[in-house]
Amino acid sequence: MKRLLALLATSVLAATALVAGSTASASALPVPEDDPFYAVPANIASYADGAVIASRRITAIAYLLPIPADAWQILYKTNDSHGVPTATVTTLMVPRTAWKGAGTRPLVSYQTAEDGVAGKCAPSYGLRGGLIGTRNASDAESGLMLSALSNGWAVAAPDYEGPDSQFLAGKMEGQAILDGLRAALAFSPAGLSPSTKLGIWGYSGGAFATSIASQLQASYAPELNVSGVALGGVVAEIRKTIDDFSGSAVGGAIAMGVNGPMKAFPEYNLGQYLSASGRAKVAAASGDCIADAVARYPFLSIKQIEAFPGALDVPVVANLLHANSPLGIPGTPTAPVYDYHATFDELAPVGPDRELMHRYCDSGQVVEHVEHLLAEHISETVSGAPGALTFFSQRFAGQAPKNTCATIPAP
């Protein structure tokens, strides 16, 4: 386990630095907006949720090297936050070695922090092009997917923001994850089945989407055999997280992030709550991944973009942000939860996470909540991963989960 922790620490942190600091020229690999494979068919409404529309075999890349697994990109049908049919892509990877455990090979849906508002930020793009080819932040987490694959599990990495990169559109993201699992199970070359044991896992923005998927599963995809849910550094409440970003070295993420709800919910005319300077900054970041926006506007604060003091707390805006947060979306997971968080996380406050876990516990679900005192947001990606991998190994083996609901601190 110590070797795994050291490997993950080196790979994740090095990859993050490479992505943030890269000045490499754009790859010849077309971005999703220019790749016909990603196109939503005109008859999309005729497909069932999770139906496979198209597929292609690819070579998936972790950092700089090919991943030793059979890999495909799968275009499948899902729905946006308004219930409008659309399509997105998942990258499905299956180890080439035979599964030695009981039953069929398990499948883990790993949600990277798809923090961006353009197709170049999608995990499918990053996994196909690698670090040098794409400057995609999702690559920083490909080591975690490699770890899951090394356990013999199949791994799916969905583009859960959809074709329009609707960052922070909670319902869209959760549904896209669940429909991605449906598509992976239905994709015959992968050799999976409806009874396949499933895990869903994500960190930070990926945990935001994962938690929402787990809360929607009972009503949206009750047939899925979810065995466990792992959440790391979860962003449980958007508004409180914005406060942590505001004025910090990564404040530029706010200008990028506003574009997500603006695209997903045009009926709210969110631009009216931005100053002229704010609208210009948001527009400039409308094609950014988080690393681009952070470099563009370091130390950006809410005050620098809002139309008037407290604009984000106007009821219509506050309600929209809450309604797209895990704490604002109804439902609780149907499977045991492993939740890990840095106690002093500077970007995803631990208080809302504790509140969310108390809600899960109150519903009767088993939760193992782990906090790390000496970690912060980036290092917790690594600190919490071994526990998540152990959690899934136990779930897939049918072992009883650990319940720490009685000791979770108050929010």
> Which active-site residues does the annotation give?
204, 345, 377
Gap between the Cα atoms of 188 and 106, Å rounded = 15
- For 406, list phi and psi in degrees, rounded to 5: -70, -15
Cα torsion through 13, 285, 166, 63, rounded to 10: -30
Gap between the Cα atoms of 111 and 158, Å rounded = 7
CA distances from 349 to 6, 39, 120, 261, 378 (A): 26, 37, 28, 21, 13
Identity of the residue numbered 255 = A
Region for 215 from its dihedrals, namely left if φ exceeds 0, alpha if ψ lies in -120 to 50, beta otherwise: alpha
Find, among 282, 113, 141, the residue nearest to 208 by Cα.
113
Identify the residue whose tokens are 């809360």.
215
Gap between the Cα atoms of 352 and 374, Å rounded = 19
Cβ atoms of 144 and 109 closer than 8 Å: no
